[in-house]
Amino acid sequence: MAHTKEPWTHDYSPSTGFGCGYGRSQIIDSVGRPLAGVAAIAPDKGPMYEQGGLSRATLDTVEANAHRIVAAVNACEGISTEALEGGVVKELLAICKAIDDGPSIPYQKLYELIAKVEGEDHATEEG
């Protein structure tokens, strides 16, 4: 199953679109179509509602969530959903840390991870 092509953006409009709050917070696709509204949830600190509607803290949380969704999707362009669900980003970070820790570079593990990111069923052989 294919997802909508990157890049995605975030838009907050006080009167248009869909979502929750005084305005509308939404995720936009690469050609400007709305993909999803971002729901309001209770913030970690402060009230969810103030007189007249959602609190500033709630609206800030909605906007921060939308920014994080867009940043994550755009940063993962080219990586299959299956690889993401399989933990490829954490594996890559672990390999990068191992490389940084000393001269023993786990090349084969890196090749296997690249193959996983690219959606190949087998690891690339060392050349």
Tokens of 63: 């906007």
CA distance 92 to 10: 27
pLDDT of residue 71: 94
Give yes or no for a cis peptide into 7 (omega within 30° of 0). Answer: yes
- Per 3-state DSSP, the chain is made up of helix, strand and coil in percentages (nearest 5) of 40, 15, 45
Number of Cβ atoms within 10 Å of the Cβ of 110: 19
pLDDT of residue 57: 82
pLDDT of residue 104: 62
pLDDT of residue 72: 93
Under a CB-based contact definition with an 8 Å cutoff, are residues 11 and 26 in contact? yes
Ordered DSSP codes for 27-56 = EE-TTS-EEEE------SSS-SEETTEE-H
Residue type, 8: W
For the chain (length 127 residues), average pLDDT per consecutive 10? 87 59 73 84 74 78 89 90 87 77 67 74 44
pLDDT of residue 102: 64
pLDDT of residue 8: 94
pLDDT of residue 73: 93
